Structure 1
Amino acid sequence: MRKWVCWLMIASVFLLPGCWDQDLLKDARLVYAKGYDRSPDGKVIQTLVIRRVTPGEEPKPLNTVHSAVGSTVRDASESNLLKIDNLRFYKFQVELLGESLAKKDLFSYMDVIYRDPEAPLTAKFAVVDGKASDILQQKKVSEKLIGEYLVKLIESGEEQSTFPQETVQSIRPKMLDPGRDFVLPDIKQKGKEVVIKGAAMFHGHRMTGTLDPDQSILFTLLSGEPGKSARFSKKVNPGKVTNPSNYITVSADGRKVKRKMKVNVRRNGEVEVDLEVNLPVTVMEYAQDRLDEEKQVKRLNKTLSKILTEEADEVIGKMKKARCDGLGVGRQLIAYHPEVWKEKKWSRDYPKVRFHPKVKVEIVGSGILN
C-alpha cells in the first residue's frame, strides 16, 4: 500500500502546473527612482530612472532616463510602458515631487501607488525646489547613481533630525487625518550637486510652506520625532559674527531628548499648548572653552535655552502661517476634547492656537577635553 502511495505522489508531480504568473527579474526593466512635475497646461510629467547593467567581463550599472506626459499618473505611466518593454515599478526607492505639483492636490497623484499591489511602501518621498526631472536627468552625483544618492541623502537628513522619517506608507494616514499634517524633505539642485534645502510643510493634501534646515531640526524636536542626533551652531558671545570663537556647536542624542506637549482648552473655547523640550547636549566645538567652570556652563545653558526657545516660537509661527499642524494638536482635540473639536474649523482656527514653547538645554558633555 505504501508503494502505491509513493508512486501516486511521484506521478502527480508531472501533472502540477508551472508558475504561469512568473516575472523573471533578469527580463524586467526596473525603475529605481521616479519623479513627477506639472506641465504649464496642467498635465503630469513622469520621469523614470531605469537601471541597466552593461554586458561584459566587468559589468557596470548604468541609468537611463525616460519621460512621458499624461492627463493622470496612470496615463503617463502607460505612455512610458508603450516605449519600454517589461517596465516594473516594484523596486523604486525614492519619488520626487516638483514644487508646482506638490502645491496641488498631492493625494490625487499618489492614488495610483496605493492601488498597486507591487508598489514598495517603504520608498522615500522628497519635494524638489524646481523640477524633479532636472535632478533625475543628472543620472549621477558624486560618482553615485542618482537613485542611490537620493536615498542616502534623505536617510542622512533623517538621521540628523533635519526632517522626520516618512515613507509612502506613513504619510497616507496623515493625509487622511483632519487633525494632523506632515512635512517632507525639501531638496534642490546646486550646480552639479543635490543638497538638502530643509523641509516642506503640508496642510491636508497640499504643500503650504517651507522650513530651512535649522528650523526643520527644531520641528523634529518639537514633534517628538528626532533622528539619531540633532546638531546646532549658535552665537553665544558678543562680538563680530565673523569670529568663530563667538560660536558654540552642540549635538544632542535623539534617544535622550524628552518632549512634553499638553493641549488645554479654556472655557471660552480658546486652545493653548504647553510644549517643553529637554535637550541634553554635548559640546562639539567651542574655542573659548572653560567648560570645567560651573559658572560658564550655566551661562551657556541659559543662553542656548533662550536662543532655541525664541527660534522654536518662530518655527511655530511659520507653521501656523502655513496652517501645517505637524505637531498633531488637532489630533489631541479629537481624542480628548471631541466636543470642542466639533465646533472648530481647523483650517481657520489652527492659526489662532496659542503656543507656549520652552526648550531647556543642558550641557552634559564636552568631548575628551576637560
Structure 2
Amino acid sequence: MKKYNSFIMLLCLSSLLSGCAESNILDKIGLTTLVGYDLGTEDKMEITAVIREVNPEFQSNVEIITTENDTSKGNRMKANRKLSKKITVGQMRVILFGEKLAKENLHYYIDLNLENANVSNGLYMAVVEDETAPLLNYKYENIDDIGQHIFRLLEQNITQEYMISPTLHETAHDFYSIGRDIAMPIIKRDEEHIEMSGIALFKGGTMVSTLPVKDSFFVKLVRDSFKSGFFETNLKEEEMPPGLLKKPSSEIPIVFDAIRSKRELKLIDASTPEFDLNLKLKARVLEIYPDVNLGDPELVKKLEKTISKNLSNEISRVIAHAQEVESDIFGFGEKYRSTVRNSDLTKEKWHEMYKNMKVNVDIDFVILRNGVFE
C-alpha cells in the first residue's frame, strides 16, 4: 500500500512539473503561424510574419511584424529584436507569396522551407493579389487571428474540393517533376473579407498566368478525382435539347453536387503528342432554373449529353489556355515520360512539345436519380 501511495505521489509530482515546464516554454516563445513573402527594396526579401504569443495563463496575443533583409534568417533576427519571445516556426500553417515575387521565381523559397526540418510539409501555399504585407497588416473588424483565418479558409475549400490542394510537399513534387508545373490558389482582400479569387499558373518557378476561381472545378477534374464536390454552370438556350424547357430562357443555371469522377489519360500518339482524356462523372442535380421537363427519361439522357458537351468545351478551353502560357499544371508530361521509353525528356523539351499537344476530351456525365427528381 505504501509503495502504491508513493507511486501516486510521484505521478502527481511529474504532472505538476511537466505542466510548469510547458508554461515556461510557452511563456518564452512566439509561435509563427503564417509567413508572407514580398519583393523588398534593392533586391531584398520582405517578410511579414503572423506570430501568436501565449502567456502563462494560456491567453494569446497575435503580433504581425514586417521586416526586410537580404536573407530569411536575417529577417528572423530582425523580428526577434522586436519581440520579447523567441520566434519558432514549428506551428507554421500557411506561406503566402506576393504576386510580384511569384512572377519573379519561387525556386529559392520552395527550397528554403523544404530544407527546414522544423517546417511541416503539409502547410499550405498560396499567392496574394498584389502584396502580402497590406493584406496581413489590415485591421479587420471581425478577424482576430489573420493567420488562423487564412489557414481555415484554405483548409475548408480544399477539404470540400472547391480548390486544388497546394501543400509544400505537393508544390515541391510538381516543381521538381519533369512534365508537371505548379498551381496555387490566389487570395485577395475584399473590404473586410479575404476570399479565393483564382488559380496561379507557373512555368518552372515563375507565375505566368491566372485562371478565374470558377475554373478550379475544371482544373481539379483533369488533375484529380472527385469524391464529393459541388459545382454550378450555365447552359445556353441553344445548347438545350428541344422539349426540355417549359418556357423560353436565354440561360439555364444548373447546380449539381455529390460528384464522383474517374479519370483515364492515355497517350495515343507520341510524335504530336496526342492524348485521350476520358472523364466519367456521376452527380446529383441539386438545382435547375427555370423549370424543365424532367419527367421523360429520354429528355434526361439528352440533358446528360448537353452537360457532357458543356463540360468538355470548358475543360478544352482551360487546357488550351495552360498550353498557351506553357504551364502543364495537369501532368500530361509525366504521363508522356512514363509511357515513352528513353524519351530523354527535360522540362525545356516538354514545354516546347506541350504547346502543340492535342487532347481529345470525352465526358460521360450521368445524373443520379435523386435530389431535384424526387
Global fold match (TM > 0.5) = yes
CA distance in 1, matches of 2:349, 2:312: 29
- The one-letter code of the counterpart of 1:29 is G
Residue 206 of structure 2 is matched in structure 1 by 206
Consecutive unaligned residues of structure 1, counting only runs of 5 or more, are 1-21
Report matched runs for 1:58-69 at 5 Å.
Answer: 61-69=60-68
CA distance in 2, matches of 1:251, 1:155: 19
CA distance in 1, matches of 2:80, 2:341: 48
Residue 306 of structure 2 is matched in structure 1 by 303
CA distance in 2, matches of 1:54, 1:73: 27
Equivalent residue in structure 1 for 2:275, among 259, 273, 276: 273
Question: Under a length normalisation based on structure 2, what TM-score does the superposition of the two structures give?
Answer: 0.83
CA distance in 1, matches of 2:342, 2:320: 26
CA distance in 1, matches of 2:341, 2:77: 45
Residue 38 of structure 1 is matched in structure 2 by 39
Check the 8 A contact 1:164/1:225 in 2, yes or no: no
> Residues 346, 90 of structure 1: CA spacing in aligned structure 2 closer, same or farther, 3 A cutoff?
same
CA distance in 2, matches of 1:355, 1:341: 22
CA distance in 2, matches of 1:334, 1:90: 37
- Number of matched pairs: 343
Residue 367 of structure 1 is matched in structure 2 by 371
Note the C-alpha offset of 1:320. Answer: 0.6
> Residues 246, 173 of structure 1: CA spacing in aligned structure 2 closer, same or farther, 3 A cutoff?
closer
Residue 70 of structure 1 is matched in structure 2 by 69
Check the 8 A contact 2:281/2:365 in 1, yes or no: yes
CA distance in 1, matches of 2:225, 2:205: 21
SS in 1 for 2:64: strand
SS in 2 for 1:76: helix
SS in 2 for 1:83: coil
Cα RMSD of the aligned pairs, angstroms, is: 2.8
Report matched runs for 1:206-285 at 5 Å.
Answer: 206-226=206-226, 228-237=228-237, 246-253=252-259, 256-266=260-270, 269-285=271-287
Residue 90 of structure 1 is matched in structure 2 by 90
- The one-letter code of the counterpart of 1:345 is K
Report matched runs for 1:115-134 at 5 Å.
Answer: 115-134=115-134
Note the C-alpha offset of 1:236. Answer: 4.7
SS in 2 for 1:180: coil
Check the 8 A contact 2:225/2:261 in 1, yes or no: no
Note the C-alpha offset of 1:156. Answer: 2.4
> Residues 352, 106 of structure 1: CA spacing in aligned structure 2 closer, same or farther, 3 A cutoff?
same
Note the C-alpha offset of 1:152. Answer: 1.6
Note the C-alpha offset of 1:55. Answer: 8.0
Residue 318 of structure 2 is matched in structure 1 by 315
CA distance in 2, matches of 1:228, 1:44: 40
Check the 8 A contact 2:237/2:250 in 1, yes or no: no
Check the 8 A contact 2:267/2:339 in 1, yes or no: no
Note the C-alpha offset of 1:235. Answer: 2.6
Q: Does 1:332 align with 2:354?
A: no
CA distance in 1, matches of 2:89, 2:195: 26
- Deviation digits for residues 66-89 of structure 1 (CA, Å, limit 9, x no counterpart): 011012323322322333331111
SS in 2 for 1:352: coil
Report matched runs for 1:48-197 at 5 Å.
Answer: 48-53=49-54, 61-84=60-83, 85-138=85-138, 140=140, 142-197=142-197
- The one-letter code of the counterpart of 1:274 is D
State which drifts further: 152-161 or 318-327. 152-161
- Deviation digits for residues 180-233 of structure 1 (CA, Å, limit 9, x no counterpart): 112111111111111101211122111111111221210101112446313123
- Deviation digits for residues 20-54 of structure 1 (CA, Å, limit 9, x no counterpart): xx992332111111101112532211001111357
- The one-letter code of the counterpart of 1:246 is I
Check the 8 A contact 2:37/2:97 in 1, yes or no: yes
Note the C-alpha offset of 1:141. Answer: 6.6
State which drifts further: 230-239 or 354-363. 230-239
> Residues 278, 142 of structure 1: CA spacing in aligned structure 2 closer, same or farther, 3 A cutoff?
farther
- The one-letter code of the counterpart of 2:35 is K
CA distance in 2, matches of 1:183, 1:162: 14
> Residues 342, 213 of structure 1: CA spacing in aligned structure 2 closer, same or farther, 3 A cutoff?
closer
Note the C-alpha offset of 1:60. Answer: 5.2
Check the 8 A contact 1:65/1:139 in 2, yes or no: no
CA distance in 1, matches of 2:202, 2:115: 23
SS in 2 for 1:307: helix
Note the C-alpha offset of 1:334. Answer: 2.0
> Residues 176, 32 of structure 1: CA spacing in aligned structure 2 closer, same or farther, 3 A cutoff?
same
CA distance in 1, matches of 2:308, 2:213: 19
> Residues 271, 208 of structure 1: CA spacing in aligned structure 2 closer, same or farther, 3 A cutoff?
same
Residue 4 of structure 1 is matched in structure 2 by none
Note the C-alpha offset of 1:163. Answer: 2.8
CA distance in 2, matches of 1:227, 1:196: 21
- The one-letter code of the counterpart of 2:122 is T
CA distance in 1, matches of 2:156, 2:250: 26
CA distance in 1, matches of 2:113, 2:372: 50
Note the C-alpha offset of 1:308. Answer: 0.9
State which drifts further: 280-289 or 47-56. 47-56
